[in-house]
Amino acid sequence: MKPSKWAVTRILAALSAITSAQAPAKRPDVWIGPPGVENGKALRAIFEHPDEWKQTRSIVSGILYTTNNLKPFSDDDLRLWFGRLREWKLGLMLEVGAIKEWGITGEATFSRQLPAWEHIGNLGGTIHAIAMDEPLLARASGCRSRTSTR
């Protein structure tokens, strides 16, 4: 039996109401990753010249930076910058090693990096996300004998 025109209209109206009541699509997370060259000159500029990227801050989720590239900065600088990230409601994503020549298992790599992550927390920083740096490249290039999925 073919549905009546009235029934089809009611179904379409109901579907329209349901779809318009749904939450708007979430915009993608966008992270800005300043280069770590020249002792982190670009990261320092982000915090020393905040007005120069005010509009960009309004559309990004946070800053992506490599843990090892934080070493040139003083604890005072980092403490101040982590506070600014909170003020700006931006997250911190760290690029971290996964399986490396200096940590040929996930567990070994994690153990070597953990003190740096704890130090960030002790300075008031919050790690919102991590990005694994080339997780399979080191394995393919010679760390095969003891790789682990842990």
Asked if residue 147 belongs to a domain, the reply is: no
Alpha-carbon distances, residue 37 vs 5, 21, 45, 94, 111 (angstroms): 67, 48, 13, 16, 26
Over the chain, what is the mean pLDDT? 82
Domain that holds residue 76: 31-140
Catalogue the E-assigned strands of 14-141. Answer: 31-32, 62-66, 91-97, 127-133
Asked if residue 80 belongs to a domain, the reply is: yes
pLDDT-above-70 percentage for the chain: 74
The pLDDT of residue 134: 74
Asked if residue 4 belongs to a domain, the reply is: no
Asked if residue 69 belongs to a domain, the reply is: yes
Asked if residue 60 belongs to a domain, the reply is: yes
Structure tokens at 132: 């694994």
| Tens of pLDDT, residues 32-48 | 999 999 999 999 999 99
The pLDDT of residue 148: 45
Asked if residue 67 belongs to a domain, the reply is: yes
The more confidently predicted of residues 75 and 146 is 75
Structure tokens at 42: 């670009």
Asked if residue 148 belongs to a domain, the reply is: no
The more confidently predicted of residues 148 and 13 is 13
The pLDDT of residue 147: 43
Q: Are 87 and 124 in contact (CB under 8 A)?
A: no
